[in-house]
Each structure stands twice: as structure tokens, then as C-alpha cells.
């Protein structure tokens, strides 16, 4: 009886040990995914100071993709403000375009000059009428990320 109990106890200890090892391994894996060793991080782009613009055609065809360009403002040092694409939520009459940049972690020297970086986007409006391109970014180039937006209307013809 002592041997059966001892064997059962050993099984439980091995089982618990394997569970703990799994949890520790999973925690380390997740920590590696969240590592801050990445030299840059993605954040919403600063839209800059007026005059700001969205380049797009005045008239587009319904159902036909067209190109437009949003602009991210920032330091003239490209390592301090790398354009990093856009997230597009396309509605019937409004396309919400959130633009992003990659900025360095830590204390990286950046020039204080202002430059606008193009971020190309592709949009399609399905129905005829007046539609809006709304570019969303931040009000100022800071850590607060207060949202700001800029709009441009386009005429969609059949």
C-alpha cells in the first residue's frame, strides 16, 4: 500500500511540475512577443500644422479603385518618423483612414525641421454621390496621441 500511494504521489508531483514548466515557458514566450528590444514602435501619425492636405482626384468612378495620398508630419530625420501605412475602414459615403509612423524607442537625436511624408492609400466608393475621405492622426507630435482628423470630399460618378 505504501508503494501504491508513493507512486501516485510521484505522478502528481511530476504532473504539477510539468504544468509549472509549461506555464513558465508560455510566460517567457509571451514576454518575448512583447519585448521592447524592437528599435521602433508604431503609433498614429501627426497630421502637422495647416495647411494640411489629402491628395485625391476631384472625381472618381463608383466601384473603381483610386489612389490617394495622406501625409504624416514629423522630423526630417527619417529614422525618427518612418511612414508605416494606414488602416482603412471603408463605409458607403466615408472612408476613415488612420495613418501610422514608426518612431524610435529611447533617446534618439532627431532634427527639429518639419517634413511631410507621403502615405499612399487605395480607396473605392461603391455608390454615386459626394463621399468623404477622413484621414485620422494626432493633433501634435507627442506622447499624448490626441486624435485629429482632416477631410476631403470627392464626387463619385456612376
Q: Tell me, what's the pLDDT at 31?
A: 42
Question: In three state form, how does the secondary structure of 37-76 look?
Answer: CCCEEEEECECCCCCCCCECCCEEECCCCEEEEEEEEEEC
Span 88-117, mean pLDDT?
91
Q: Tell me, what's the pLDDT at 8?
A: 53
Does residue 34 carry a pLDDT above 50? Answer: no
- Average pLDDT score, the chain: 81
What is the Cα–Cα distance from 110 to 78, expressed in whole angstroms?
Answer: 9
Q: Tell me, what's the pLDDT at 22?
A: 56
Does residue 1 carry a pLDDT above 90? Answer: no
Q: Tell me, what's the pLDDT at 111?
A: 86
Q: Pick the more confident residue, 25 or 110.
A: 110
Does residue 5 carry a pLDDT above 70? Answer: no
Q: Tell me, what's the pLDDT at 75?
A: 86
Q: pLDDT tens-digit profile of 134-154? A: 999 998 756 667 889 999 999
Q: Pick the more confident residue, 131 or 9.
A: 131
Amino acid at each position: 500500500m505504501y508503494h501504491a500511494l508513493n507512486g501516485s504521489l510521484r505522478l502528481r508531483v511530476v504532473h504539477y511540475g510539468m504544468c509549472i514548466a509549461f506555464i513558465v515557458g508560455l510566460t517567457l514566450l509571451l514576454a518575448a512577443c512583447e519585448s521592447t528590444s524592437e528599435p521602433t514602435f508604431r503609433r498614429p501619425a501627426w497630421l502637422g500644422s495647416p495647411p494640411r492636405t489629402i491628395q485625391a482626384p476631384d472625381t472618381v468612378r463608383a466601384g473603381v479603385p483610386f489612389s490617394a495620398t495622406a501625409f504624416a508630419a514629423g522630423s526630417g530625420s527619417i529614422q525618427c518618423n518612418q511612414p508605416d501605412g494606414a488602416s482603412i475602414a471603408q463605409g458607403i459615403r466615408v472612408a476613415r483612414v488612420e495613418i501610422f509612423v514608426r518612431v524610435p524607442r529611447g533617446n534618439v537625436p532627431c532634427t527639429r525641421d518639419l517634413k511631410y511624408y507621403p502615405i499612399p492609400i487605395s480607396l473605392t466608393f461603391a455608390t454615386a454621390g459626394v463621399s468623404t475621405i477622413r484621414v485620422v492622426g494626432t493633433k501634435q507630435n507627442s506622447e499624448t496621441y490626441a486624435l485629429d482628423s482632416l477631410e476631403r470630399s470627392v464626387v463619385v460618378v456612376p
